Structure 1
Amino acid sequence: MTSTPQPPVAPQRPVSSTHHCDTRTDPWEWLREKESEEVLAHLRAEDAYAKAVTQDQEPLRQAIFDEIKARTVETDLSVPARERGWWYYARTEEGSQYAIHARVAATDTGDEEADWTPPVLTPGVPVPGEQILLDGNVEAQGHPFFSLGGLDVSHDGTRLAYAVDYSGDERFTLRVRDLTTGEDLPDLIEGTFYDPQLTPEGDRVIYTVVDDAWRPEKLMVHVLGTDPATDTVLFTETDPGMWLGGYSSPDGKDLLINVGNSEYGETWIWPGMDPDVAPVMIVDRELRLLHQALPVILDGERRLVILHDHEAPNGLLSLAPAAGGVPSEWTTLIPTSNEVKLGGLEATSTHLVLSVREDTTPRVWTLPLDGLGTPAQAAPSTPLLEVPAVAGGTQARAVVPVTIAFRSAAFESPYLRLTRVGDLLPAEVHDVRASDGAARLLKTTPVRGISLDDYAVHREWATAQDGTQIPLTVMHRRDVAADGTAPLVVYGYGSYEASMDPVFSVARLSLLDRGVVYAVAHVRGGGERGRDWYLQGKKLTKLNTFTDFIDSTRWLLEHGWGQPGRVAAMGGSAGGLLMGAVANMAPELYAAVLAQVPFVDPLTSILDPELPLSAMEWEEWGNPIEDPQVYAYMKAYSPYENLRAVDYPLIAARTSLNDTRVLYVEPAKWVQALRQVSTSEHPVVMTIEMDGGHGGASGRYEGWKDRAWDQAFVLSAVNARSLVPGAEKG
């Protein structure tokens, strides 16, 4: 006789805290002691309990993993991109976890089209003249975790700066490789952040370090061959609510330094990355602008193009003097619009490239530099690449959503590298000539063993309780009807103005092949409908995010896209907060809730400015330390604070020990409290990756295993383990 697995019980050791005359008592705050052997033993027990409870799902997990593997072309390579005399690309090999980064020499014939046409490389066939820059599989040897935090090649092509993380905590080791010998230089700097950059001469490397709260605080400059203890501080940002970053100007000559949060920022420029010249401020934070500034050359004169939100929530584009100044001194290039959100700015030697959002999804516009800011200025090209005009769904506004995004372009390139991808459109890589928009398809991501004609995707619009129209993306096999009999999985995020844009997923097909309707609820707090959509789901309007998701679920059920009792909800990180909130607010709607690295104890975290990123979060959620209204509002929705005696659905939390964005302690405390109050017999489980970070374990095969675990969990909960007839043929 098999005994029923019993969940681990963490002892209660109450700790009280008082804010705004309100005292909260937390029985499991002691689980935050990450180095404690008692805590580690408890976490391992939680993982073992999850394994025992879900043991019967292992065959399904293996089947899904096999499906993902069978459909993925494992030996593949990216389309080469030209930069300073080389074609750079990444390739993967069957059986290998990580990408290999490589290059081959480019040639100059004087024929512009020929010189900028990527070489045709065949996956699995050796590339003549290939130079391997970095092999992730070699770098990962002997380490339980591996993540690459950035690569940068010097302008002369002889040095490579790269950053690696071996634990998942996003603290990187910075090294520099001599590409003429393939050997690493003695220079080694521990504890850096993402994206190191070599200066134009290649004799110095710029890197970022974080403070104790994991906030990027300083930009440092290291001279190769010297002791890192003598490195120079280029820039320091002392405001705990501001994020610091540095990136090269489009021509690669200057360093742009940006500090900011979700509401305003500041930009400095370091001319020529000259050690004898100090950075100069070009957009002051006192202007309270969200913005992006790029230097350009117009008629031999250096100017600034600034994308900003002065009296323009959806952004406008302006031309400014090289010294910056104030908006009243700037010339408007593209005015603001209620229908189009201007979201990003890049430049080549001849064109501006704008990433915009219209009709909820990303597009790309271009604007020639020739005549910019004069009466002869051309209208922006809108958009590059065609959008498939295929109707679907039940409403007049139901057009198949497709993402078109700018990927890269060398400063001197006549071509822009763009991608086009949809939920059922494998990613395409296009080169588009900036001068006339002529496009050439370079690659479509290969997928094996399926016919995408067997699936359907369309846009629907749910109605929120306040009358707001919420966009939904609905996916299913074509032989699954909206007759109220299908299992339904609803995914959501809804924070930080992040949009859940169309993206192709091989793994998701395994859900659809089991008759699942998969829906993405584009709830308020994201950026799908412009800046106002975000503002309606942050700070003291955050409840809209949660009620939108619940209203979307109910709409889907009312319109036949799911069967009551066979509905699962999924979300991660801030989307995990969403999962915890909807489980409290509408537990009867869901058979299961899957919360990935869930932010389920936000009030405790944000009340402690010493915790990673807490101070940065004030611009998203409000500051509960200073504002009693924010404190009361957050306490009213925080999942951990609002558990109650109801029949909770089956719940799984997934976390990682070394996650620095959402600490493991949040789900660890949450599952303990859930088990105490739930009146149902559904188990509450938590898995923990002991050698991983915010994204879980590293390596593509480990990632596939994670997706298989998630899918097996929700498929089991909605009684949809078996392939539907016809799906076996793919």
Structure 2
Amino acid sequence: MKLTPPADAPRARKIPATDTHHGITRTDNYAWLRDENWRDVMRDPTVLDKDIRSYLEAENAYTDKALEPLADLRETLFNEMKGRIKEDDSSVPSPDGPYAYYTRYEEGSQHPIFCRRPRDAENGEAEEIVLNGNVEAEGEAYFKLGDVAHSPAHRLVAWSADRKGSEYFTIRLRDLETGKDLADEVPDSSGGVVWDAAGTSFFYTQVDDEHRPLKVFRHVVGTSAQADTLVYEEIDPSFFAGVGETQSRKYIVIDTHDHQTSEIHLIPADAPELSPRLVAAREEGVEYDLEHDAERQRFLILTNAEGAEDFKVMEAPEATPEREHWKDFIPHKPGTLLLGHVAFRNHYARMERQGGLPRIAIRRLRDDAEHEIAFAEEAYDLSLGAGYEYDTSRMRFSYSSMTTPAEVFDYDMETRERTLRKRQEVPSGHNPADYVTRRIFATAPDGTEVPVSILHHKGTPIDGSAPCLLYGYGSYGISIPASFSIAALSLVDRGFVYAIAHIRGGKDKGYRWYTDGKLFNKKNTFTDFIAAGEHLAAENFTSRGNIVAQGGSAGGMLMGAVANMAPDLFKGIIAEVPFVDVLATILDASLPLTPPEWNEWGNPIESKEAYEYMASYSPYDNVRAQAYPHLFALGGLTDPRVTYWEPAKWVAQLRELKTDDNALLLHINMDSGHGGASGRFERLKEVARVFAFALAVTERA
């Protein structure tokens, strides 16, 4: 089935608005799509300006009409993907004192159920429901749980929920003996909760009217949120604050950071009323994160200080953790990027990436003996789970690849015994031997080798005839893992090659891989992605003009950039919550995320050079009269990260200027934000919709 767009596409009114920076004047014909009362819309979508609402609803109706012939395909895809989910699945219980905590789903349910049982009980034995997300979500158009954190005495649970998609979470307290919530209610939090040692108070971060997490408060159980104590306030709007704890649970950790600098304050968990103690004052370009080695009364500090580009670990006495007392514990090793760490009583585990692949290293703290956990596949994903406990020799990790469903292991750090605790079930059936996963390298214009992970069915001919879905992100140092995807199989089983381009801007090949794809190196991200597509065609995995590109958020900006730069390479573009109005957004310091973004993109307010560089690639500003691929843009009305007007303006500009007859579709979810629809099955329906689009434009529907 071929996707044929209807002829009656909506046309947004043109109302020119101008702004001038550094003597350069730009005109924006669609700036009116940004509601002046956007802050109010985040909290109450019903107050959206009626003209803007009418236009967005017209675009949604047009998209529904265009995709109507694909309704059966979408339903088929949804049922396929749903059939690969074990509907009554549950997580591996995680022990904490007398209990083991876990989540499970019931057949047909959208949201998780949080449970516990006695530590040594068998599956389902003496189960106690801590919180049922399905009950809490009843009657809500949108519902997302933030945190579900039990108190140290296991009597109370602090839980948070967002009911608009705007990421304003309200925290409540549940008494597990009565099953009822207390009167305590804390609005406008970022969602996370950290208890003190006694369980009489908890810490949280408040989100302000600009949606910036700048204040950390302490709430005492049984009191009003208006009486909460301000513990820390960040005065620099380019730094965001967060709160956590060390694995030892001895310290509350207040972390403030932008994209390249961090600062930590500590509060003893058994003395929550004390003022936070600064560890090391922020130093531009220096990041650090710490863990607590309680047995040896020291902190282990993961940092890029002293020129350690790929990070190293330093130690400092617990009594004097200031910068001048830091000394090397694990030296910097160029090419081995340290990603994260956790300290147990007798062992120290860290995640590393070497040669583009993750691994886990274990150090025994009594004698510093080390070993690694090894894996054999060409491309895979690995994650380290700390669990709740500190005094244990067991840690948990998860492994998957593009062909291998997720496996959860408990690992004895002392004996090196690996115990499989859970293997992801695919009820409809999955044989890894039916699929091929590979990692190849594309050569960028400057000679850099860019990794590309590939999945295809073993029966797919590698002769250039297969369509390809090429996914990319490439910002903020985020690396896209080569993990198992129940959704991707629906494309691969229909003859697609599914590929992930590990482009610069992530940290796939070390920290420099990130810096080589940000600020004045940002265009490397786009040319890397284009090089990946061209290499896939050159190696006959697909062909030029038969590639559907997909990316979301900053990856959506990537989609907009490559659509402008190399439109003939792609058959279709899927841009989810796309950050495409880059220049206007980063020029507007009032928007929620703009000040912290200046270290990622540059500050066009102060720097003409940054302004001109961003103007040269900002997708919205570079739409021009040319043929474009089929394009599907998706956004969320209450999205505080990528505001709804970015994809709306972009589509309006494209519809005005593009010279082709290809489909141009926009869908704004009027009940959600950045993460799309809530609930595991509603999200699958969104995936089915964009995959139906990909199949239709490549005429595989």
- With over 3 angstroms needed to count, the CA separation of the structure-2 counterparts of 1:348 and 1:55, relative to structure 1, is same
Residue 566 (structure 1) aligned with residue 568 (structure 2): no
Of 331, 350, 375, which residue of structure 2 is paired with 1:387? 375
C-alpha distance in 2 between matches for 1:227 and 1:534: 44
Shift of 1:573: 0.4
1:447 maps to 2:447 = no
The AA in structure 2 aligned to 1:304 is F
Q: Name the residue aligned to 2:676.
A: 696
What is residue 111 of structure 1 aligned with on the other side? none
Q: Deviations over 1:570-624 (max 9, x none)?
A: 1000000000000000011111111000000011111111011111111110111
Superposed counterparts of 1:73-112, under 5 Å: 73-107=86-120
Who is 2:564 aligned against?
584
Say if 2:247 and 2:388, in contact at 8 Å, map to a contact too.
no
CA change 1:683–1:458 in 2 (3 A) is same
- Structure 1 segment 407-422 matched on structure 2, within 5 A: 407-408=386-387, 410-422=389-401
Q: What's the CA shift for 1:286?
A: 3.1
Post-superposition CA distance 1:618-649 (Å, at most 9, x none): 11101111111111000000000001111111
Aligned counterpart, 1:112: none
1:388 CA displacement: 2.2
* Equivalent-residue separation in structure 2 for 1:86 and 1:176 (angstroms): 19
Task: Give CA-to-partner distance per residue, 1:495-537, whole Å, 9 cap, x none.
Answer: 0000011211111100001100111111100110010000000
Alignment of 1:472-511 (within 5 A): 472-511=452-491
CA 1:591 to 1:142, structure 2 compared with 1: closer, same or farther past 3 Å? same
Change (3 A) 1:158 1:409: closer
For 2:122 and 2:567, how far apart are their aligned partners in 1? 54
CA contact (8 A) 1:545 1:578 kept: yes
- Output the CA distance in 1 between the equivalents of 2:319 and 2:288: 15
Does 1:267 find its partner at 2:264? yes
CA distance in 1, matches of 2:204, 2:381: 36
Residue 720 (structure 1) aligns with: 700
- Alignment match, 1:152: 149
Report what 1:55 is aligned to: 68
The counterpart of 2:197, out of the listed 195, 200, 211, is: 200
C-alpha distance in 2, partners of 1:569/1:227?
50
Please report how far the alpha carbon of residue 200 of structure 1 lies from its aligned counterpart in structure 2 after TM superposition: 1.8
**Matched-pair contact (CA < 8 Å) for 2:342–2:386:** no
Instruction: Verify: 1:217 aligned to 2:217, yes or no.
Output: no
Question: Structure 1: how far apart are the matches of 2:578 and 2:492?
Answer: 25
Distance change >3 Å, CA 194–CA 276, structure 1 → 2: closer
User: Following the alignment from structure 1 to structure 2, what is the Cα–Cα distance between the partners of residues 671 and 604?
Assistant: 16
Identity, in percent, stands at 38
- Tell me the SS of whatever aligns to 1:285: coil
Matched residue, 2:44:
none
Residue in structure 2 matched with residue 669 of structure 1 by the alignment: 649
Comparing 331-340 and 149-158, the one that deviates more = 331-340
Please name the residue that 1:241 is paired with.
238
Q: Distance in 2 between matches of 1:709 and 1:349?
A: 48
The aligned residue for residue 322 of structure 1 is: 318
Tell me whether 1:72 sits opposite 2:85 in the alignment. Answer: yes
Conserved 8 A contact 2:295-2:345:
no
Give the CA deviation at 1:324: 5.0
Aligned letter for 1:28?
A: Y
The structural deviation recorded for 1:451 is 1.8
Contact preservation (8 Å) 1:255, 1:273: no
Matched, 1:305 2:311: no
Asked whether the equivalents of residues 645 and 677 of structure 1 are also in contact (C-alpha less than 8 Å), the reply is yes
- Aligned equivalent of 2:12: 10
Specify whether residues 154 and 326 from structure 1 end up closer, same or farther in structure 2 by C-alpha distance, changes over 3 A only: closer
Specify the code of the residue in structure 1 equivalent to 2:100.
W
Say if 2:342 is the partner of 1:346. Answer: yes
AA of the residue aligned to 1:419: S
Match of 2:29 in 1: 27
- Contact (CA 8 Å) 1:492, 1:549: kept in 2 or not? yes
Alpha-carbon contact 1:270-1:277 (below 8 Å) kept: yes
Cα distance change on mapping 1:120 and 1:458 into 2, 3 Å: farther
Contact 1:387–1:402 at 8 Å: present in 2 too? no
Q: In the aligned structure 1, how far is the partner of 2:546 from the partner of 2:463?
A: 14
* Alpha-carbon offset, residue 3 of structure 1: 11
Distance in 2 of aligned mates of 1:305 and 1:3 = 58
Does 2:247 correspond to 1:250? yes
Residue 402 of structure 1: how far off its partner (Å): 4.1
CA pair 672-129 structure 1, distance change in 2 beyond 3 A: same
The corresponding residue for 2:507 is 527
Q: Whole-Å Cα distance in 2 between the matches of residues 516 and 288 of structure 1?
A: 42
Question: How far, CA to CA, are the matches of 1:631 and 1:200 in structure 2?
Answer: 49
| Aligned partners of 1:145 and 1:166 also within 8 Å | yes
Could you tell me how far apart the structure 1 residues matched to 2:403 and 2:358 are? 16
SS at match of 2:430: coil
| Aligned partner of residue 702 in structure 1, secondary structure | helix
CA gap of 1:21–1:409, structure 2 versus 1, over 3 A, is same
The verdict on how the C-alpha distance between 1:324 and 1:242 changes in structure 2, with shifts beyond 3 A counting, is farther
The letter of the residue matching 1:351 is H
Aligned residues: 685
Q: Deviations over 1:194-243 (max 9, x none)?
A: 21122221221211112333221001111122221111100001111112
Return the match for 1:433 from 399, 412, 417.
412
Hey, what's the Cα distance between the residues in 1 that align with 2:90 and 2:5?
50
Letter in 2 for 1:350: N
Paired amino acid for 1:308: T
Q: Quick one: which amino acid aligns to residue 197 of structure 1?
A: V
Classify the secondary structure of the residue corresponding to 1:714. helix
Question: Cα deviations across residues 642-661 of structure 1 (Å, max 9, x unaligned)?
Answer: 01111111111011111111
Looking at structure 1, the residues matched to 125 and 356 of structure 2 have their Cα atoms a distance apart, in angstroms, of 44
Aligned mates of 1:608, 1:212 — CA distance in 2:
15
Unaligned runs of 5+ in 1: 108-118, 122-126, 371-376, 390-398, 722-730
Cα deviation, residue 453, structure 1: 1.2
**1:516, 1:720 within 8 Å by CA — same for their partners in 2?**
no
Aligned partners of 2:272, 2:393: CA distance in 1, in Å? 33
Greater Cα offset, 28-37 or 550-559: 28-37
Query: For the Cα contact (< 8 Å) 1:256–1:270, is it kept in 2?
Result: yes
Given that residues 222 and 231 in structure 1 are in contact (C-alpha distance below 8 angstroms), is that contact kept between their aligned partners in structure 2?
yes
- The 2-side partners of 1:196 and 1:538 are apart by 32
The structure showing larger relative contact order (alpha-carbon pairs under 8 Å, at least 6 residues apart) is 2
State the distance in 2 between where 1:705 and 1:239 align: 41
Q: 1:327 to 1:186 in 2, by over 3 A?
A: closer
Shift in Å, 1:414: 2.0
Distance (Å, rounded) in 1 between the aligned partners of 2:5 and 2:659: 21
Aligned with 2:406: secondary structure? strand
**2:405 and 2:484 in contact (8 A); partners too:** yes
Report the Cα offset of residue 287 of structure 1. Answer: 6.8
**Could you tell me whether the CA contact under 8 Å between 2:143 and 2:161 is conserved in 1?**
yes
- TM-score by length of structure 1 reads 0.92
* Structure 2 CA distance for partners of 1:135 and 1:404, relative to 1, 3 Å: closer
Give the counterpart letter for 2:363 in structure 1.
L
Letter in 2 for 1:362: P
Summarize the Cα distance change of 1:429–1:715 in structure 2 as closer, same or farther, 3 Å threshold: same
Q: Of 150, 168, 171, which residue of structure 1 is paired with 2:168?
A: 171
The verdict on how the C-alpha distance between 1:473 and 1:407 changes in structure 2, with shifts beyond 3 A counting, is farther
Question: What is the SS of the residue equivalent to 1:667?
Answer: helix
Q: Secondary structure at the match of 1:44?
A: helix
The one-letter code of the counterpart of 2:375 is V
Alignment partner of 1:408: what SS?
coil
Is the Cα–Cα contact under 8 Å of residues 78 and 89 in structure 1 kept in the other structure?
yes
- Give the Cα separation in 2 of the matches to 1:519 and 1:129: 45
Looking at structure 2, the residues matched to 256 and 284 of structure 1 have their Cα atoms a distance apart, in angstroms, of: 14
Distance change in 2, residues 1:7/1:222 (3 Å): same
2:45 matched residue in structure 1: none
Give the AA of the match of 2:302: L
Alignment-mate amino acid for residue 551 of structure 1: A
Which TM-score applies when normalising by structure 2? Answer: 0.95
